[in-house]
Amino acid sequence: MTLAIGDTIPAVTLLDADGAAIDVAAMKGAPLVVYFYPKADTPGCTTEAQDFTRLAPEFAKLDAQILAVSRDAPAKLCKFRDKYGLTVRLASDEEGAVCEAFGTWVEKQNYGRTYMGIERSTFLFGADGKLFREWRKVRVKGHADAVLEAAKAL
């Protein structure tokens, strides 16, 4: 499955780094950034999380929430958050259902090896819960800044 511009936030539930349930659809009412990253505490994923953390006060001025999703367990996300002082809300999708709902669990290739993994992607929802913008196959450098600029256009 994949989302199209104008689609409503999928009704899915995740666990945050502390094991608390997150009802993603209930986050409607304020702009929402949902970004998917392959693995906690790896170079690109760490940089992306640090960039969104750096810009979190600017997103907050827009009343925008940020949710960072990977298939890592909550305990690993807790260590990742604490190690780097991350303020974005990290969410665990261990079973992959949310990745499937957003269309981010894809076939990938690396050094001639084919495998399934998370495609680094970001989704920006308006306060109405509708998808306003999406980014696929994200390059980390400058990405959080681009998402912030798009959020300002909501």
- Which among 65, 87, 88 has a CA at the least distance from the CA of 9? 65
Q: Which 3-state string (H, E, C) describes the chain? A: CCCCCCCECCCCEEEECCCCEEEHHHHCCCCEEEEECCCCCCHHHHHHHHHHHHHHHHHHHCCCEEEEEECCCHHHHHHHHHHHCCCCEEEECCCCHHHHHHCCEEEEEECCEEEEEECCEEEEECCCCEEEEEECCCCCCCHHHHHHHHHHCC
Which is the catalytic residue, given 45, 56, 69, 98? Answer: 45
**Is 45 part of the annotated catalytic residue set?**
yes
Catalytic machinery residues: 45
